[in-house]
Amino acid sequence: MGKIIQKRVLIPKRVTEMTIKAPVIASKARPGNFVVLRLSMKGERIPLTIADADPEKGHIVIVYLIMGKTTALLDTMKEGDVILDLCGPLGRPTSIKKQGTVACVGGGTGIAALHHIAKGNFQAGNKVVSVIGARSKDLLLFKPELEKISHEVLVSTDDGSVGHKGVVTEVLEEYLDRDPDVKEVIGVGPVPMMRSVARVAQPYGIRTLVSLNSIMVDGIGMCGSCRVNVGGEIRFACVEGPEFEASQVDFDELMMRLQAFKSQEKESMELFEKKELL
């Protein structure tokens, strides 16, 4: 269970941040971990990244994009309400060591998920270059938060309303050209963006990780729903990931598996909108 301490609308009707009281999870959460939550006894379980954690206050922060029924239902909850089930921290934490410059690349809601990883690298003494992109200025998340824990924040927007006009990987490529000291690239965001991060970084021979958002149910390695193909092998993203070496990921298969429940998701959202399913 987790009481909602604070709810902050980041982008109206689209992205919300929640601070939740979860002392045990907060005390153990590391960058890269996620939680699986369930809102009702018959509700589905969904994974959300721990965007930040404060062990002293016993709080964790989640940031979610309203995608379908469960995130829409979560968004009806208010400060003081209690999330029925909150399981975590799950997943392997990001392996962080002091190594020099780390480029943290985030797209869309992935920027919020990237925050904890960038913070961990900053605290480890690395030079953090955050490279973030969104469709437009209004949709750009967490820039002020990243500025506090990055040595440089580079921005792109599709429409050019702020930063470079174009996609985030163009900015990454330009940075990799001018800084030969980058030791690691970490990408979090939509699948096409992570595929592009893999492609752009590969010629530089830099270790590059992406955080995969495969469908998860139990989050503890029992159900097999989070199967991903990495280097020709089946891996379970919940217990072996969610971060994997980018060049080894079969992004086509990931995309296909993410579409597997589209008709059920649509039906579930329609029933929710008619208030027939809560």
Ligand X SMILES: Cc1cc2nc3c(=O)[nH]c(=O)nc-3n(C[C@H](O)[C@H](O)[C@H](O)COP(=O)(O)OP(=O)(O)OC[C@H]3O[C@@H](n4cnc5c(N)ncnc54)[C@H](O)[C@@H]3O)c2cc1C
The DSSP element (H or E) to which 54 belongs, if any, is strand 52-54
Number of residues that bind ligand X (CB under 6 A): 24
Among the listed ranges 74-82, 95-103, 214-222, 248-256, the one in contact with ligand FES (CB under 6 A) is 214-222
Residue 198 neighbours by CB distance under 10 Å: 21
Residue 216 touches ligand FES, criterion: CB under 6 A: yes
Residue 90 touches ligand FES, criterion: CB under 6 A: no
Residue 65 touches ligand X, criterion: CB under 6 A: yes
Structure token digits, residue 242: 């969610």
Residue 109 touches ligand X, criterion: CB under 6 A: yes
Q: 262 near 57, Cβ under 8 Å?
A: no
Q: Which of 10, 11, 65, 223 binds ligand FES (CB under 6 A)?
A: 223
Shortest spacing between CB 159 and ligand X, in angstroms: 22
Alpha-carbon distances of 62 from 54, 114, 262, rounded to whole Å = 12, 12, 24
- Residue closer to ligand FES (CB basis): 89 or 107: 89
Q: Pick out residues in 138-177 that bind ligand X (CB under 6 A).
A: none
Shortest spacing between CB 50 and ligand X, in angstroms: 8
Nearest to 171 by CA among 128, 201, 205: 201
CA distance 6 to 17: 8
Shortest spacing between CB 92 and ligand FES, in angstroms: 12
Residue 32 touches ligand FES, criterion: CB under 6 A: no
Rounded to 10 degrees, the C-alpha dihedral 59/119/72/6 comes to 30
Residue ranges that bind ligand FES, judged by CB under 6 A: 216-219, 221-226, 236, 238
